[in-house]
Amino acid sequence: MALMTRLALTLMTRLTLTLTLMTRLTLTLMTRLALTLMTRLTLTLMTRLALTLMTRLTLPLMER
């Protein structure tokens, strides 16, 4: 009986360890994906803003 409980306990601890590792990995992957997406979005937004600003600044100069 003691052997069975010990085996069950070791199995449970191993399962919990693997689960924690998996959750940690998934969390890191999710954060990395979110960060890359955010950087891409911010970069596109910044380029769009820069382009609009440039066109707004250059158009009046071109009209003169």
Structural domain includes residue 3: no
Give the model's pLDDT for residue 61. 79
The pLDDT-based confidence of 36 (bands split at 50, 70, 90) is: very high
The secondary structure of residue 17, as a DSSP letter, is H
Structure tokens at 33: 């994906």
- C-alpha to C-alpha distance for 62 and 52, rounded to whole angstroms: 15
Q: How confident is the model at residue 52 (pLDDT cuts 50, 70, 90)?
A: very high
Q: Is the pTM of this model over 0.75?
A: no
In angstroms, the CA 15 to CA 42 distance is 40
Q: What is the extent of the structural domain holding 63?
A: 38-64
**Residue (of 24, 47, 27) closest to 35 by Cα position:** 27
CA end-to-end span of the chain, whole Å? 94
User: Is 16 contained in some domain?
Assistant: no
Residue 63 pLDDT greater than 80, yes or no: no
Number of domains in the chain: 1
Which whole number is the average pLDDT over 51-56?
91
